[in-house]
Structures are given as C-alpha cells and as structure tokens.
Amino acid sequence: MKSLVAFLSAVIVSLSAVTFVQAESTAPVKAQSQVEASKSAQVNINTADVDALMTLKGVGAKKAEAIVAWRKANGKFTSVEQLMDVKGIGESIFETNKSRLSL
C-alpha cells in the first residue's frame, strides 16, 4: 500500500511539473507575438503615449518623451512629416517609420 501511495504521489508530481513547463514555454511565445504586433501597428503621433512611441524603430524613451513634450508645447501635429521638427527625430528615423505613422 505504501508503495502504491508513493507511486501515485510521484505520478502527480511529474504531471504537475510537465504542466508547469508547458505553461512557461508558451507564455514567451504569446508575449513575443504581442511585441511583434505592436512593432507593426500604426502609431498615432497625436495621441500615442511614451510606450507606444517607443515601438517605433530608433525611438527610445528620450525621443518618445521629446515627442510628447513637443505636442504639449506646440499642439497636435498637422502632418506626419512635422515629426521631424522634434529634436532627435531626423529624416532617417522618419523614413524608417513613415508607413506606421498616423495623425
């Protein structure tokens, strides 16, 4: 009887470990596909927050904060090209992200 209980306990522990490993292995895949989706989604430069702006290629925290500060100081962008008026956003960054920018 003791060996049966020990055997069943070992089976339960093994199944729990397998379930845990499966759950952990799929979580990064889901998170990665969400990141990939955000890197291809449109970004409204008049409403995007710092995190959304940071999904643009070449835009880190400082440049994203500069975009938000520019908006606060000057109002809404009237064209996506006006993004290049923000310090640190040059033609290269603009051209790289042009297809994802919206107003």
Domain extents in the chain: 1-38, 43-102
Task: Report the pLDDT averaged over residues 59-64.
Answer: 98
CATH code of domain 43-102: 1.10.150.280
Confidence of residue 25 (pLDDT cuts 50, 70, 90): low
Output the pTM of the full model.
Answer: 0.66
Confidence of residue 100 (pLDDT cuts 50, 70, 90): very high
Confidence of residue 6 (pLDDT cuts 50, 70, 90): low
pLDDT of residue 75: 98
The CB-side HSE value for 77 (13 A sphere, CA atoms) comes to 21
Average pLDDT of the chain is: 84
Which range, of 7-16, 47-56, 83-92, averages the lowest pLDDT?
7-16
Q: Cα–Cα–Cα angle for 101, 90, 52, nearest 5°?
A: 35
